Structure 1
């Protein structure tokens, strides 16, 4: 038995209803559509009403069980309802829930645990500040600090980026659809190409450095580039919603080098890729370079409690007491959940396990890609994985239609995942870091069957889609 088996409701899917959604789920979905705002989105593509969940298994109100390769949009890194973490939560709830930003032992423990992830040689150069409850709040705080420190307004962000839905975070998010009909966004945001090697317009330079770095250097050095020097460059070390894009070696190093040369603040957005999602605490750590500001949220809340933070260099701290405030800056229960998740990950060696399971899953996907011509690329690090679909491997024309079909077949058979990518043609796997080989095997059997069904044109659109 795998050491993590006990942390899951089961290790396989179980579909009891004639189709998904089942009758009870359909009733709740209908009620939601009638009485909740139309911004509800996830049940549109995954039409289920959840009863309970544990580990990597979700059970709906009809008794159907689904393998969860979504993890609450990358939040549930140690799985649903992890009992180890919940013991910290219950203990804290009896003591103190809300304390603004007053110091508590609970709060200081989490600050120290975060800082301990930095190399000892630079640990004293950084501080932690808790923000509002979401990743967007951390992004807003990071942009605000960069502007406050530099006295400049502009921000360079990247094509394929997703940083959140609040005003500043959305302004730095490249998906134009999300900003349609909004005409008063934060100004002076410049989008530049990310190091997306599968679809790169740039050749590597003579030293082997990603060519998109030369483009960035030209924007900053050329007096006629048309762009003022920005306050900050913000990027995801691995793009999440953009399609689980892992940049080439040298890209992050080059960004930091160029930014230092031009005295620009570097922000690494680790909201999704952080907290051991790749096996390392932060995805950028393999690069060996450290930014001025790091944003965190999602997995930091242990088992889904809302919290966010920025980790930043002391030498850019230009603000003082009250310059950035908020009522819910580090809820004590969320902090306790974060402490519990840290301790669980250390005790059970979850980072190492995530790397091993990531390689195991990537290996199976790469084997599958050999027999499925529609898979253009399989990529990822740890358990942050993307499978990009194309109509033709030579032209690389994106194929979002096939992705939707595969997702529908997988849903009907008990596998949940999110999609994304620059062209909505990427299937994204974000399973819990405590996933077991058995769960991966069962998930892959569903996924392989769905690919076979769709690519043999036996797919019949599900009439019960919502």
Structure 2
């Protein structure tokens, strides 16, 4: 038996319908289109109506089973309906559901578990504050605290960033399309280049990189004629998620923290997607010798999909007081219990090492696939946060979003779900549950390779090393 088999509905896809969506799914999808708002998005490209799910397997109302490499946008870190975590949830639901920000033992336990992830020598310097239910709420709170502490108004963010859809979080999100018809966003947001070596705006690659992107950031602060005022904060994802699962070059985070602190700028690391063991470490930045002033969390913190968010911040910047940042749903007790359950599950079952092993296994398979299909420009990732970038050719690196869309359509038809991202929507993003095993990966890759074969066809690669 493969590891974690008992936590999954099955270990493979099962397609019963002659078409996707199946007939029962069509009824629910038609109802949704007619009666829900047009902002609904995921069922457009993944047209299924879900009946139930367990682990890394989703079953739709027609009985089709799909391998889930999407995980609710990176929320379901220990899988759908994990029975271990559900025990914590059921017990808490019978005791207490809603308690505003009154202290409870349940709440205290989660705060202790989060702070335990901070190195012992600096642990006492940090605090936890629960925010509203979503990652956007954590980002809003982080930016607000930075502004409150510094008395300054501006924020620096990065090209390729995604921080959420509320006003402040969206203002710090670089996707122009998301803001194109909104003309009253939060002002004084400056976007600077991220460490995206595959598409370096300074025409470097990983080998030749000397962190021109970080130097550019420094120049904006140090040049009296840069045209930019010193910001309150700089916010960045230690691994960019929606931007295309972009892993920065080693040393980049340290440089950004060093430059920022030299100029008295609050550093916010957005770990909403990359946090809670998705990379094998609790936070993605822990691989580096960098530590921010504020960390945002959500998604995986709710264990199996319960809504919760938090900021973890240095006491030195705590300038606000009681009531300066409030919210009715700051740390729902059931969500907190789910977070406690997920923490305990991960420790008891050795999930952190498993994530690193499965990440290496999946990346090895994807690198092998890239040797066959020339449309794959780069495979990258850490742990189980992986991106596969598609291009028309490896010399020009021209983005190929059309091919990506076709590959996803083939995969959905055959039972594999994932999301698309990247600067040009040309990156396939794998965010599977942290409890997937080799059997599930092998079955998912069989579907994925078949889709690549059908859409791209095999080709002989030129002798080109893309970075």
Length-normalised TM-score, structure 1: 0.97
CA distance, structure 1, for counterparts of residue 191 and residue 211 of structure 2: 17
Per the alignment, residue 407 of structure 1 pairs with 408
The alignment status of 1:375 with 2:376, answered yes or no, reads yes
Per the alignment, residue 143 of structure 1 pairs with 143
User: How far did 1:204 drift?
Assistant: 7.8
Per the alignment, residue 25 of structure 2 pairs with 25
User: How far did 1:125 drift?
Assistant: 0.3
Q: 2:373 touches 2:457 (CA, 8 Å); kept in 1?
A: no
Per the alignment, residue 37 of structure 2 pairs with 37
**1:309-354: CA deviations, max 9, x gaps?**
0000000000000000000000000000000000000000101100
Q: 1:205 to 1:352 in 2, by over 3 A?
A: closer
CA distance, structure 1, for counterparts of residue 292 and residue 183 of structure 2: 31
User: How far did 1:455 drift?
Assistant: 1.3
User: How far did 1:201 drift?
Assistant: 1.9
Q: 1:205 to 1:83 in 2, by over 3 A?
A: closer
**1:140-182: CA deviations, max 9, x gaps?**
0000000000000000000000000000000000001001110
CA distance, structure 2, for counterparts of residue 310 and residue 112 of structure 1: 14
CA distance, structure 2, for counterparts of residue 23 and residue 33 of structure 1: 15
Per the alignment, residue 275 of structure 2 pairs with 274
- What SS does structure 1 have at the residue aligned with 2:91? helix
Q: 1:385 touches 1:430 (CA, 8 Å); kept in 2?
A: yes
Per the alignment, residue 333 of structure 2 pairs with 332
Q: 1:344 to 1:122 in 2, by over 3 A?
A: same
CA distance, structure 1, for counterparts of residue 37 and residue 12 of structure 2: 34
User: How far did 1:272 drift?
Assistant: 0.1
Per the alignment, residue 290 of structure 2 pairs with 289
Per the alignment, residue 342 of structure 1 pairs with 343
Per the alignment, residue 237 of structure 2 pairs with 236
- What SS does structure 2 have at the residue aligned with 1:380? strand
Q: 1:209 touches 1:250 (CA, 8 Å); kept in 2?
A: no
Q: 1:222 to 1:206 in 2, by over 3 A?
A: farther
CA distance, structure 2, for counterparts of residue 443 and residue 207 of structure 1: 35
User: How far did 1:195 drift?
Assistant: 0.4
- What SS does structure 1 have at the residue aligned with 2:234? strand
CA distance, structure 2, for counterparts of residue 2 and residue 11 of structure 1: 9
Matches within 5 A, 1:29-108: 29-108=29-108
Q: 1:136 touches 1:164 (CA, 8 Å); kept in 2?
A: yes
CA distance, structure 2, for counterparts of residue 149 and residue 11 of structure 1: 50
- What SS does structure 1 have at the residue aligned with 2:371? helix
| Aligned length in residues | 457
Per the alignment, residue 432 of structure 1 pairs with 433
**1:47-68: CA deviations, max 9, x gaps?**
0000000000000000000000
CA distance, structure 2, for counterparts of residue 252 and residue 209 of structure 1: 13
**1:13-55: CA deviations, max 9, x gaps?**
0000001000000000000000000000000110000000000
Consecutive unaligned residues in structure 1, runs of 5 or more: 458-466
Per the alignment, residue 110 of structure 2 pairs with 110
Length-normalised TM-score, structure 2: 0.97
State the Cα RMSD in Å: 1.2
Q: 1:397 to 1:328 in 2, by over 3 A?
A: same
Q: 1:231 to 1:17 in 2, by over 3 A?
A: same
Per the alignment, residue 215 of structure 1 pairs with 216
CA distance, structure 2, for counterparts of residue 9 and residue 211 of structure 1: 48
Per the alignment, residue 123 of structure 1 pairs with 123
User: How far did 1:205 drift?
Assistant: 12
CA distance, structure 2, for counterparts of residue 45 and residue 237 of structure 1: 28
User: How far did 1:208 drift?
Assistant: 5.7
CA distance, structure 2, for counterparts of residue 337 and residue 326 of structure 1: 20
CA distance, structure 2, for counterparts of residue 224 and residue 149 of structure 1: 26
- What SS does structure 1 have at the residue aligned with 2:224? coil
Q: 1:56 touches 1:68 (CA, 8 Å); kept in 2?
A: yes
User: How far did 1:209 drift?
Assistant: 3.4
Runs of at least 4 residues off by over 4 Å: 204-208
Per the alignment, residue 462 of structure 2 pairs with none
Q: 1:205 touches 1:211 (CA, 8 Å); kept in 2?
A: no
**1:341-368: CA deviations, max 9, x gaps?**
0000000010110000000000000000
- What SS does structure 1 have at the residue aligned with 2:429? strand
Per the alignment, residue 198 of structure 1 pairs with 198
- What SS does structure 2 have at the residue aligned with 1:398? coil
CA distance, structure 1, for counterparts of residue 193 and residue 289 of structure 2: 22
**1:218-239: CA deviations, max 9, x gaps?**
0010000000000000000000
- What SS does structure 1 have at the residue aligned with 2:162? coil
CA distance, structure 2, for counterparts of residue 394 and residue 207 of structure 1: 17
User: How far did 1:252 drift?
Assistant: 0.1
- What SS does structure 2 have at the residue aligned with 1:371? coil
Q: 1:154 touches 1:229 (CA, 8 Å); kept in 2?
A: yes
User: How far did 1:3 drift?
Assistant: 2.8
CA distance, structure 2, for counterparts of residue 446 and residue 3 of structure 1: 21
CA distance, structure 1, for counterparts of residue 88 and residue 39 of structure 2: 33
Per the alignment, residue 184 of structure 1 pairs with 184
Q: 2:116 touches 2:123 (CA, 8 Å); kept in 1?
A: yes
Q: 2:197 touches 2:206 (CA, 8 Å); kept in 1?
A: no
CA distance, structure 1, for counterparts of residue 296 and residue 321 of structure 2: 19
Per the alignment, residue 398 of structure 1 pairs with 399
